[in-house]
A and B are shown apart, each in its own frame.
Chain A
Amino acid sequence: MSRFRFSHTPLDPAALRAELVDTHCGGFTAFEGWVRDHNEGQQVTHLEYEAFEALGVREGEQIVADACQRFGVTQALCVHRLGDLQLRESAVWVGVAAAHRDEAFKACRYIIDEVKHRVPIWKKEHYVSGDSGWVNCERCATHAQDHAGHDHGHSHG
């Protein structure tokens, strides 16, 4: 069973949970990330997710496999939505089943944290103002003028 995948259609938490049911497990926990109506002071109307799927699946599989080994959990799965998402929709679902609750909670937290940082997924927010922006990309972008604008003035040959 693949433990990480992308979905271009809405997630069905009940069906995903059913994939993990296991008689060896006494604890199950899930995390869902939802589309929220605000971010950093801006009113968000909807989101757009895009991924480099070939690399993303491989990286995601590795994260889930690492979590299973590290925390000794039996079953884990992460599914990330792609495409256009409206408010209230589920963007990501992580489920973990284990013998006991403690390792299930820890593994679930580990997976969502690592997925957010490592898997090549990009989120574009669309705002009430009509603006939009790629999260984490816009602020670190340099301005084109910095390149040629003042360089001549301060570098002596």
Chain B
Amino acid sequence: MTAPLYGLVLAGGHSKRMGQDKAALEYSGRSQLERAFGLLEKLVTRTFVSVRPDQAQDPLRARFPQIVDMPGDTEGPAAGIRAAQLAHPAAAWLVLACDLPYLDMATLQQLIARRDPARLATAFRSSHDGLPEPLCAIYEPAAADTLQEFLATGRNCPRKLLINSDTLLLDQPTHKALDNVNTPQELAAARADAGSGTGASRELRVQYFALLREQAGRRDETVATRAATPRELYAELAGRYRFTLTPEHLKVAVNAEFSDWSRPLNAGDSVVFIPPVAGG
């Protein structure tokens, strides 16, 4: 018999790289946590939010049915998954990170429709490296024992658990569906894509040099974008062209003058991102 499917939104992270609580980040006026919970509760029997013990009273999280990590348990998503499995051992769990701004209903519906209860788990293949995405995946009840054994050996990465288990891997319906957001740069790009940026779209000129020129495959282009600052623009372009340099490595020039990364950009501005220089 197929186990009932429950939903678990992971909101117990430390958000170290973001520098602010990721669950509370808003797109179009709704927090990531509310958004993820809202998607999931339409598709499963019961839905819970996974939190660390010290987060249970947090106003954002207190509104939702919670499953609290066991005090002193392992760190990270594995602790949340284990707590859920112990609380409702007969359920299969659709585990979902709360920081997936591109995730939509169709992606979750596909995961559920193609679920194979005879396997240990059903997951999407990462569009970046082909490995399982553990935080938008269905864990069958039998996965509880497997996770227990896995944790007992000192490992706690759910991705490795899926790699080493009988996991059905599915292709994502869209390339970015499961891209997550860990840094302010990625957040800016996601907000620009969500159409909730503060400004309207306008055209900017971008010139590329050296490594960036090769990776973009062009010397210059006109970009229609909502990016408000060079930092947001770089995040957007880095996503598009998979630039390997990060802003810490770069300087930026606007209209042929060195500029601040947070300078407001105006229609018609000409922007150049400057890789590490090597004259002489």
Does B257 lie at the interface of the complex (its beta carbon under 8 Å from any beta carbon of A)? yes
Q: A52-B253, A142-B244, A144-B242 are in contact. Are A149 and B279 (CB under 8 A)?
A: no
Closest residue to A150 on the B side, CB-wise? B159
Query: Is B23 a contact of A157 with CB atoms below 8 Å?
Result: yes
Of residues 231 through 280 on chain B, the ones whose CB sits less than 8 Å from some CB of chain A are 242, 244-246, 249, 251, 253, 256-258, 272, 274-280
Cα distance, A33 to B76, chains bound together (Å): 53
Interface 9-residue window, one of B109-117, B127-135, B138-146: B127-135
Cα distance, A122 to B211, chains bound together (Å): 9
Cα distance, A80 to B79, chains bound together (Å): 59
Q: How far is the CB of B78 from chain A (nearest CB, A)?
A: 9
Does A92 lie at the interface of the complex (its beta carbon under 8 Å from any beta carbon of B)? yes
Interface hub of B11, B135, B160 (most chain A Cβ within 10 A): B135
Cα distance, A33 to B277, chains bound together (Å): 16
Cα distance, A122 to B242, chains bound together (Å): 20
Cα distance, A116 to B15, chains bound together (Å): 38
* Interface of B: prevailing SS: loop
Query: Is A149 a contact of B128 with CB atoms below 8 Å?
Result: yes
Q: How large is the interface on B (under 10, 10 to 19, 20 to 34, 35 or more residues)?
A: 35 or more
Query: Is B244 a contact of A144 with CB atoms below 8 Å?
Result: yes
Does A69 lie at the interface of the complex (its beta carbon under 8 Å from any beta carbon of B)? no
Of residues 3 through 42 on chain B, the ones whose CB sits less than 8 Å from some CB of chain A are 9-15, 17, 22-23
Of the candidates A92, A124, A136, the one whose C-beta lies within 8 Å of that of B277 is: A136
Of the candidates B9, B77, B160, B280, the one whose C-beta lies within 8 Å of that of A92 is: B280
Does B150 lie at the interface of the complex (its beta carbon under 8 Å from any beta carbon of A)? no
Query: Is B279 a contact of A80 with CB atoms below 8 Å?
Result: yes
Does A120 lie at the interface of the complex (its beta carbon under 8 Å from any beta carbon of B)? yes
Query: Is A157 a contact of B11 with CB atoms below 8 Å?
Result: yes
Closest residue to B23 on the A side, CB-wise? A157
Query: Is B279 a contact of A119 with CB atoms below 8 Å?
Result: yes
Q: A147-B128, A148-B179 are in contact. Are A50 and B279 (CB under 8 A)?
A: no
Q: A122-B278, A142-B244, A157-B10 are in contact. Are A50 and B209 (CB under 8 A)?
A: yes
Q: A52-B209, A54-B256, A140-B245 are in contact. Are A121 and B279 (CB under 8 A)?
A: yes
Query: Is A152 a contact of B129 with CB atoms below 8 Å?
Result: no
Closest residue to A91 on the B side, CB-wise? B280
Query: Is B209 a contact of A120 with CB atoms below 8 Å?
Result: yes
**A interface footprint on B66-94 (CB within 8 Å = 1, 0 otherwise):** 00000000011101100000000000000
Q: Which residues of B contact A134 (CB under 8 A)?
A: 210-211, 275, 278
Cα distance, A65 to B274, chains bound together (Å): 23
B residues at A contact (CB < 8 Å): 9-15, 17, 22-23, 50, 52, 75-77, 79-80, 97-99, 126-129, 131, 133-135, 157-160, 178-180, 182, 207, 209-211, 213, 242, 244-246, 249, 251, 253, 256-258, 272, 274-280
6 closest cross-chain pairs (CB), A and B: A157-B10, A141-B244, A121-B279, A122-B210, A136-B276, A135-B278
- With A148-B180, A152-B77 given, name 13 new contacts (CB 8 A): A52-B272, A58-B257, A80-B279, A91-B280, A116-B280, A121-B278, A135-B278, A136-B277, A137-B276, A148-B178, A150-B159, A155-B99, A157-B77
23 contacts between A and B (CB under 8 A): A52-B209, A52-B256, A52-B272, A58-B256, A116-B279, A117-B277, A119-B279, A120-B209, A121-B278, A136-B275, A137-B245, A142-B246, A143-B244, A148-B179, A148-B180, A153-B134, A155-B13, A155-B17, A155-B182, A156-B50, A156-B77, A157-B22, A157-B135
